[in-house]
Structure formats: C-alpha cells, structure tokens
Amino acid sequence: MRKTAASRRFRAIGATAADLAHDFNNLLTAITAVVDAALARPSIDSETHRDLMGIRASVESGAAMVRRLLAGGDLLPGDLRLAAIDPIVEAFVPTLRLVIGPGIRLELTLGLPAGAAMVDADELRHALLNLTVNARDAMPGGGALSITTNMATPEQPLAAMPQPVPPGRYAVIALRDSGAGVIPELMEQVFAPFFTTKSAQRGSGLGLHSVHETMRRHRGFVTMASTLGVGTEVRLYFPLHGAPSRAGAGRHALVVEDEPVLRRFVARLLDGQGWRVTAAADARAALRAVSGDRAEREMPAVMISDIGLPDMEGPALVRAARRIRPDLPVILVSGYGEDSSLADLSRVVYLRKPFGAVELLDVVASLTASSPDTSGVAESA
C-alpha cells in the first residue's frame, strides 16, 4: 500500500514537472521573441547588441536545462535542428574568452549568410569549447586565436586530414591559433580516442575525438592543418541546407496557439513576411479554418500548432486536419520533442521551444518550398 502511494506521488510530481516545463518553455519563447525584435532594430548600438546576445545565450541555457529535466537528467544526443550558426557562435564567445584568459587575444569574424544547417547547438558549443581549450594549452605564453565563419562550396574533394571533404555546400567554422603546432608524424593520430600529447593532469585525449564524433553525427567533417612554430587550424564543415524564400506571397498560414502572447508573436512575424494569417486559440477553430467548404485560395498552405491545446492534443489535431486536407504541411511546436505517433505522416516538422524568429521563418520556408518530402525535427538556437 505504501509503495503504491509513493508511486502515485512520483507520477504526480512528474506530471507537475512536465506542466511547469511547458509553461517555462512558453515564457522562454516569449523572451526570445522580444530579444529578436530588439536585435532587428537598425539603430541598435554594439553594447546593447552584446547584452541582448547574452540574454539569448541565457535563454538557450534555460532551454537545455528543461530538456535535461524532461529526459531525467540525461543529455539528448543527436538533437539536430534547423538553425543559423553565426548567432550560436557569437553568443558563446564571452564564455570562450573566459576560458582562454587575458593572455590570449580572441578575434571573431562572422561571414555566414542567412542559410541554415541542421545543428545541435549544445554539441556545437561543446566542440568549440574543446577546440578552444586545446588552442589555449598550445599557447602557454599567450598568443592569438581567431574564429571565422564562412561558406565553402568545393566542386572537387578537398584533400585534408583526417579525411577528404567531398564536394558540396558547407557552413564552415575555422579556429586558428598561433601556438606551437602539431608534429607531422602525429597528425594521423590526434582524433583517436585517448590519444593526447598533454600530461595526465591536463588532458584525457577525448577532446578532438569528441569533436570528430560531433561532426559525424552532423554528417559533416572536421579537418586539421598545422605547422610547427606557426600554429594550428581546425575547420568544422556543416552541410548547408537550401534557404528558400521566407516570403508568404499572400499564402494562407494557420496559427494554433492557446497562449495569447505566443499566438500574437507568430501571427505578427508571419504577417511581416507577407503571409495571410488565421490565428486560432483551440483545435475546434483550427478545424473550421481547414473545412472542406472553403475555396482553394482560402485553404492554409501551412498549419503551425502548439502540441498542447485545451480541447485536443496536437497529434490528434494533425490527424483530424489531414482527413480534411491530406497534403497540409504541419509544424508542431513542442517543448518535449518528436511524437512517434505521427511517424507515418510526411511533411510534419517539430519545432522545439523556445524558438526565435529566424528559426520559425526558416522552418516555415523549408516546409512550404516546392519539395514535398520535408519532415523531421527542428529546434531553436
């Protein structure tokens, strides 16, 4: 009897935590919306921009804590999302400056366009941290570390260590230090697990191996070039996704969200891109918007819905809407991630809270582009 009562209490605690996580994610998304709106103002000064990026980074950290809470404290590997890389790197630079200390000059040059890649922001930050620690340890007397982002579109395979980079379109992050460099004979071993040239107190030999595994999970590549006495450069190649136009061009978007602040944010954002927006506070109103007696022009080109609605769960709404319009593209906004109950449906994308303006617009653009096979999970930076 006592065991049953304890089990009921734990289940109640778990349900309460999930409800709080949902509300907290709504709050983080609202904060992100305000920050993104402020960042978009043309008159913003550099100091304010830096402060806002700090807030953005704190929101991302809060979101990561919520994900770990919902996962029972475990990290969620391979949590890829469609995201712009430059804001992730820029927001993490203050942390990297603390890691290298005052004796090393850090220079940042951002050059990626608005196009996005599938990225796990937590894993990207961890890779940057590992590479920055290696660079710091290679410059005990001080020096310079540069971090540069740009595009690469090799038409022929790039000869590189530890493996060539095939032709394609990539978002590239390059870290170059002015340290001692790596002995040529060791270059083939540096990405192997537990291999290190550092003392036992300063390294485990897992840093570069971890970076290599991160890029493998991203279907990307890592390369290293080094010259003794000159320094080392490490490049991370992330496959770049196409960036279809975000313009709505008068098409109809259906936004289903019971939280008024978020509903207004999404509706205003899409309206600013030329979408005609119908905003619904519950599933019943959403189904009216896709009812069969509407003219084709009035039919939504995309439905963006919260997964937790007052009268129907998001997956049930998707199936009900698909019975009326089988080809309706859907973005489900969730703080929990993908729902396996919709695995049989195509053109259903999960956008994890909290998300920002760029993330939402990129997912909408990708899902409503001409290609009909877009599906998967998307997340914010």
Is 67 buried (19+), middle (13-18) or exposed (0-12) by CB count in 10 A? buried
**In this structure, how many other beta carbons lie within 10 angstroms of the beta carbon of residue 313?**
15
pLDDT tens track for 288-299: 988 866 655 578
Backbone angles phi, psi at 138, to 5 degrees: -80, -5
* Chain CA centroid to CA 42, Å: 25
**Strand-pair category, 170-177 with 143-152:** antiparallel
pLDDT band at 376 (very low <50, low <70, confident <90, very high): very low
**In this structure, how many other beta carbons lie within 10 angstroms of the beta carbon of residue 265?**
22
Between CA 367 and CA 251 the distance in angstroms is 13
Q: How would DSSP label each residue in 269-316?
A: HHHTTT-EEEEESSHHHHHHHT-TTS-GGGS-SEEEEESB-SSSBHHH
**Strand-pair category, 330-334 with 348-352:** parallel
Domain boundary assignment for the chain: 17-70, 81-239, 252-379
Sign, CA dihedral 244-248-249-254, equals positive
Between CA 247 and CA 10 the distance in angstroms is 47
* Residue bearing the bigger pLDDT, 138 or 7: 138
pLDDT tens track for 241-276: 765 666 788 899 999 998 888 898 899 889 988 999
Q: Which amino acid makes up residue 269? A: L
Token pair listed for 69: 């809470």
Question: Which range (35-49, 60-74, 159-173) has the least confidence?
Answer: 60-74
Token pair listed for 18: 């999930």
Q: Is the pLDDT of residue 12 over 60?
A: no
Between CA 62 and CA 44 the distance in angstroms is 25
Between CA 266 and CA 128 the distance in angstroms is 32
Closest C-alpha among 105, 237, 219 to residue 160 = 237
pLDDT tens track for 180-202: 888 776 766 677 665 555 544 44
Token pair listed for 155: 């038409």
Neighbour-count burial for 210-220, b at 16+ CB within 10 Å, e otherwise: bbbbbbeebeb
Q: Is the pLDDT of residue 171 over 80?
A: yes
> Which of 58-62, 184-188, 332-336 ranks highest by mean pLDDT?
332-336
Which regions of 5-95 does DSSP assign to beta strands (E)?
81-83
Cβ neighbours for 200, distance < 8 A, ≥ 6 positions apart? none
* Residue bearing the bigger pLDDT, 327 or 60: 327
Backbone angles phi, psi at 140, to 5 degrees: -60, -25
CATH level 3 topology of 81-239: Heat Shock Protein 90 (3.30.565)
**Strand-pair category, 252-256 with 104-109:** unpaired
Q: Does 3.40.50.2300 match the CATH number of domain 252-379?
A: yes
* Cβ–Cβ < 8 Å for 256, 283: yes
* Cβ–Cβ < 8 Å for 327, 299: no
- Residue carrying the six token digits 């809407």: 321
